[in-house]
Structure 1
């Protein structure tokens, strides 16, 4: 019978294929580099959209091995050449443009080094990088230093985190759910409604507010509706405003809504995933006055900063409310549960295993600055 040592040596030889040599890596890198360069040099010749189904057989996985050359050919024909071309200058359907090339380099380095970005103990640098990006966004939107935040996969998870914090802050649970009220625009992004279902608030009362001629929330009627709901024994607890609706790009009256929520002691959430980063432009900055009044704010770097999908962000002023839902300890993480010098991303998000997505934002900001 083979010894354990002999078995390990056999398995090591088998697994060695997963560790290509320097020469093999250079060959793989060159093929991918050539493919990427060809794509970028010819992107303007591609149509913005091709309506054609993918050939399933070319993308189905089976036990047989294929060369990278063959796989790149299938990737090109079934993925790159079909559907929407977000990287193309011809694509004007949504805010995202082509993923910035230096962000792709960040993703490459993140995957190669495979840093675990969920806990400070595991990667102090990766967590510090994420928190410094969040601190930069706090300054942009005039949020307090004590606010917490998270880099998410996009606006959907960012909104989910924010609405969960609001729910827990106001203890919206059990019989209180059906008496509680949320106020928002009919043009609010549908991920808000998805999030409400996910966090157990499907039966909450949702007031779709009347809009003015510019598709913005009518604040005078908002205050009256809240007063009426209070008189009727209901429990208003949150107003959701938009800083750039997907349908029309409308920015709700952020300052006035902030005053209303303060007067009625309601949670104020602003979904600025679509338009938030336009605050960096001098011509549009004034439109965002009052955004600093929000209790929670969502912005999408993969929209306004033109980064690759998917990277969103959420900022929340009430750390205790966020930690109530997301902070947890486990015996196997005893070494990681020391007092950290930084907020652990895993403590403010549903994610424990977390992609090192901060590098795709940090690298292009450091190389290009914010001026472009």
Structure 2
């Protein structure tokens, strides 16, 4: 009889088809189990985290292991921490992670094609490009607009800042200034720092009472900086801030940027998906005037983490800022009508990312995403209405999208304890922020798995935890 050890030893790196089938069956069985259990799993669980963290710090052994045992260890590890895939996760920006997209990623990774240049996988690059062209049209960008799929909006923002710097400032850029608000995602300031801009060249524009960029103040600061010999070059608007989901007055900012000759960038990492809906298009009006847009499909298109998009009005500007070469690439040539993504962003080696978007969009249909996002806007309205009716709570801002900040009428310490009590139930998980110097809880309805009954449960938990 073959021993277990002999079976493990017989597993080569190049797996036989029947072995792939068996391991795949075990993996799919685990996926089915995970998805089936999501509705009843806690929103957060740290009870076994210490033991597993110690176990998983061990280095790999020289001898082979057992696949079933290994993926069971993964299952246990994934169950510790915050359950970002579950319906009770209402913190930060939930998405859930479409299983159809995960299956697409499995297929893409097994195919293991290189898409940094179109020549090596032209049909797959065409597939990826079709999604980007559709997205550019969704945001109202002109024909010829394009971009690339990244690991997230942070990487996309870096490429956008580099392109703006290259296009508007040239090689000497130490006197360039960029304009943000305190609610602009910090990835933009981080990108500017990496791109070589001094921290003092990132100007923080005051906001209005509804936490949007004050366009008049932005105009004043741009004029003052230009008068002192600085070179304003980048104005950043936000289409859905992290703290409140607020959308800046994008149309007014477009006009200001055009008048002043600034590159206009829109961070739509969270809010971009709502462009599929009528209400979202109304609230994001003006985004079509952007020079660059960053968007995270792993937020408001419900995809697994690690999927961002950079769109540019003129992709040639991205190429001018990022393209390079080497003698070892002399065999590579351009393919007519297809981009070389390695020349549009910071990455050279990149996997095929298009299928994780292309397959779910074609499989489910765009209308399914639109309907899900409309539901999230409706549910956020329910949360705002119900919490506003409670005299013990402050709910100062009507949600633009699906984020609702609120707090107890009391001290910051009382609100911290309030958040702790809510999260201690392990039925829902919320996060917090600071607005106007005060501690606020925030609830974001975004996951496709979060439905009306889950929102009702969250409201019950909040009321019972006051």
The residue that corresponds to 2:432 in the other structure is none
Instruction: Indicate how the Cα distance of structure 1 residues 341 and 318 shifts in structure 2: closer, same or farther if over 3 A, else same.
Output: closer
The residue that corresponds to 2:44 in the other structure is 49
1:131 alignment partner, SS class: helix
The residue that corresponds to 1:121 in the other structure is 119
CA contact (8 A) 1:89 1:97 kept: no
The residue that corresponds to 1:8 in the other structure is none
Instruction: Indicate how the Cα distance of structure 1 residues 326 and 64 shifts in structure 2: closer, same or farther if over 3 A, else same.
Output: same
The residue that corresponds to 1:69 in the other structure is 68
Instruction: Indicate how the Cα distance of structure 1 residues 110 and 262 shifts in structure 2: closer, same or farther if over 3 A, else same.
Output: same
Instruction: Indicate how the Cα distance of structure 1 residues 15 and 198 shifts in structure 2: closer, same or farther if over 3 A, else same.
Output: farther
Q: Is 2:193 the counterpart of 1:205?
A: no
Query: 1:308: how far off?
Result: 0.5
1:239 alignment partner, SS class: strand
The residue that corresponds to 2:155 in the other structure is 157
Following superposition of structure 1 onto structure 2, how do residues 328-347 of structure 1 map, counting pairs within 5 Å?
328-347=324-343
Query: 1:16: how far off?
Result: 8.0
The residue that corresponds to 1:58 in the other structure is 56
For residues 186 and 23 of structure 2, what CA distance do their matches in structure 1 show? 41
Query: 1:155: how far off?
Result: 0.6
How many residues end up aligned between the 2 structures?
Answer: 356
2:310 alignment partner, SS class: strand
Query: 1:267: how far off?
Result: 0.7
Identify the match of residue 359 of structure 2 among 344, 360, 363: 363
The residue that corresponds to 2:349 in the other structure is 353
Q: Is 2:253 the counterpart of 1:254?
A: no
Query: 1:325: how far off?
Result: 2.6
Superposition CA RMSD, Å = 1.7
* 1:270-292 Cα distance to aligned partner (Å, 9 max, x none): 10101011111122221111101
Q: Is 2:313 the counterpart of 1:313?
A: no
For residues 28 and 228 of structure 1, what CA distance do their matches in structure 2 show? 64
Instruction: Indicate how the Cα distance of structure 1 residues 239 and 338 shifts in structure 2: closer, same or farther if over 3 A, else same.
Output: closer
Identify the match of residue 28 of structure 2 among 29, 33, 39: 33
Question: Which consecutive unaligned segments of at least 5 residues does structure 2 have?
Answer: 1-8, 369-466
2:93 alignment partner, SS class: coil
Identify the match of residue 290 of structure 2 among 294, 314, 318: 294
Scaled by the length of structure 2, what TM-score is found? 0.73
* 1:213-271 Cα distance to aligned partner (Å, 9 max, x none): 11101111211221222222221111111000001101000000100111111111110
Question: Which consecutive unaligned segments of at least 5 residues does structure 1 have?
Answer: 1-13
Query: 1:204: how far off?
Result: 5.0
CA contact (8 A) 1:172 1:180 kept: no
The residue that corresponds to 1:143 in the other structure is 141
Instruction: Indicate how the Cα distance of structure 1 residues 40 and 83 shifts in structure 2: closer, same or farther if over 3 A, else same.
Output: same
